[in-house]
Amino acid sequence: MLVDLEVTTSIRGVLFCHSDRLARLEYDAARVNRLFQMNSKLLGRSLSGGVGLSTHEGRTMFMMQASVGGMEVHNTKRRVTRKNKRLAEQGVMRGGRRPFGWAADRESLHPVESEDLAEAIRAIPRGTKIGTLRKEWFTKGHKKKQTRKGIARSGARDMPLDHNTVEHILTNPRNCGYMSYIPQAQRQEEKSMLWLPDYVVYTDGKPVLGPWKAVVTPEEWAACVEVIKERKDKRREGLNKPHETADKYVLSGIARCGICLFPMTANWYSKQSPSYERYGYRYACLSNHGGCGGVSRVGPPVEELVIEAFLDEVRRSLRTVVKDTEVDETVHDERLAEIEREIEEVNARRKAKRITMSRALDLIEELENEGSELKEKRQKLMASKLQRKTEYPTLLKEWEDYTVAEKKHRLKQDIRAVIVHPQGRGRQPFNPDLIEIEWAS
């Protein structure tokens, strides 16, 4: 490997489990370091221990970890880590700070926080934004814990919790009783940026439960996680248009012009117009926004028509769907359990020197990928289960209390567009036949 690194035509660098897996003697470590010092383009990283050989600090660290004294320390650390993972698999709770929602014993619920947490987790799938929650929580007294330095920097003693912190709190598997386990190395590296749902502990293909009281059901948690994940993905793809006049009008962006298909904008009648008193605003294809300017329609009647059709559809699917296609999220559990066993088997074969380390890593990575795909599917199934069972009935009950943003979010899931076809010139009575609903498939 040292020769390959020196020539650099065959390999670009090395990835190693831990420093003491690459070198155990200072002399060997020095030889490796010299190559990386000479060629800054070489890549060298450890999977645990956070060593990167491209920097001077990294190389010093590598040297230290590889030396005999350091080695013993790190071995113990890793032994502890392995033990922690086993404990997590047995559902044993670790110590740590009091999590939001629980009392000091970390098992029983905090009477106020747990209620607010449960409510928030259920509100997210309805379209509530993290930003709204942050404000709400702030007024309820859930504030950012600040250091003296932080207060000096921001100039404010009381600040709402950070977006990331709230996201972190809501997506925590602990909320539905699931045990999670984060390896020490990752814990130090990223802290609150970690996506906790990825760290749920499974045995026999099923999530392990901790000894504490859950705040919500696994279905509710999964539904919340799915929605937050979708929003993150959209933000990353830049699909969340920065300015949607959006949240004020149920159909802006959903209604489209029947002539040019351009999204229609809510547009207020002038105060002199008789329609101002009666309807307030209309949906219009605006030429200064890029449309043809050919179609407009009174706002509230279109909204009423669309919402009625949507609620009818919900009632209809409630009557028909629920019973015959009961969602079963456990379909993948057997395979997940099998994957665990297969990984152990590969490891055993590697230890017995029947296969090489690189072959073993290939096999294990493949199995791990399959496993995380299945876990994700499981979570999605669970989320849809909740939607069928509880979302539809509560939707009908609570629809009137939804905010415009929530109504809109919900409509968008089932309705792809509302086409407003042109009607003749002059003032005419509202004609429902000219409104066409395009349902999402």
**Nearest-angstrom CA–CA distance, 228 and 239:** 15
How many residues belong to the site for Zn ion (CB under 5 A)?
8
Q: Between 214 and 285, whose beta carbon lies closer to Zn ion?
A: 285
SS3 state of residue 203: strand
Structure tokens at 281: 């605003």
Contact between 267 and 286 under an 8 Å Cβ cutoff? The reply is: yes
- Nearer to Zn ion among residue 227 and residue 264 (C-beta): 264
Q: Quick one: which segment of 112-120, 259-267, 327-335, 369-377 binds Zn ion (CB under 5 A)?
A: 259-267
We find the least distance from the C-beta atom of residue 198 to Zn ion, in angstroms, to be: 45
Cβ of residue 172: shortest distance to Zn ion, in angstroms?
47
**Among residues 126 and 297, whose Cβ is nearest to Zn ion?**
297
Q: Distance of CA 123 to CAs 132, 175, 228, 240, 408, Å?
A: 11, 15, 11, 20, 14
Q: Judged by CB under 5 A, does residue 291 bind Zn ion?
A: yes
For residues 246 and 234, the answer to whether their CB atoms sit within 8 Å is no
Contact between 5 and Zn ion by CB under 5 A: the answer reads no
Among 292, 322, 337, 381, the residue binding Zn ion under the rule CB under 5 A is 292
Q: Least distance (Å) from Zn ion to the CB of residue 398?
A: 35
Minimum distance, C-beta of residue 287 to Zn ion, in the bound complex (Å):
8
What stretches of 176-257 show up as alpha helix (H) in DSSP? Answer: 184-190, 218-237
Please tell me what DSSP assigns to residue 129: -
* Nearest residue to Zn ion, scored by beta-carbon proximity: 257
> Does position 259 bind Zn ion by CB under 5 A?
yes
The least distance separating Zn ion from the CB of residue 151, rounded to whole angstroms, comes to 53
Residue 340: half-sphere exposure toward Cβ, Cα within 13 Å: 14
Query: Closest approach of Cβ 299 to Zn ion, in Å?
Result: 16
Binding to Zn ion by residue 285, rule CB under 5 A?
yes
Shortest gap between Cβ of 407 and Zn ion (angstroms)? 25
CA-angle at 161, arms to 156 and 165, nearest 5°: 140
* Residue 97 to residues 16, 222, 239, Cα–Cα distance (Å): 33, 24, 37
Contact segment (CB under 5 A) with Zn ion among 42-50, 278-286, 336-344, 419-427 equals 278-286
Rg (CA), the chain: 29
Regarding 257 and contact with Zn ion (CB under 5 A), the answer is yes
With contact defined as beta carbons under 8 Å apart, do 126 and 408 qualify? no
CA dihedral 15, 20, 25, 28 (to 10 degrees): 0
Residue placing its CB nearer to Zn ion in the complex, 262 or 310? 262
Sheet with 255-257: strands ordered across: 255-257, 415-420, 435-439
Give the range of 261-269, 315-323, 374-382, 398-406 binding Zn ion by CB under 5 A. Answer: 261-269
Stretch that binds Zn ion, among 25-33, 226-234, 253-261, 316-324 (CB under 5 A): 253-261
Binding status of residue 264 toward Zn ion by CB under 5 A: no
Check binding of 260 to Zn ion (CB under 5 A).
yes
Instruction: Give the range of 41-49, 160-168, 283-291, 316-324 binding Zn ion by CB under 5 A.
Output: 283-291
Write out the residues near Zn ion by the rule CB under 5 A: 257, 259-260, 262, 285, 291-292, 294
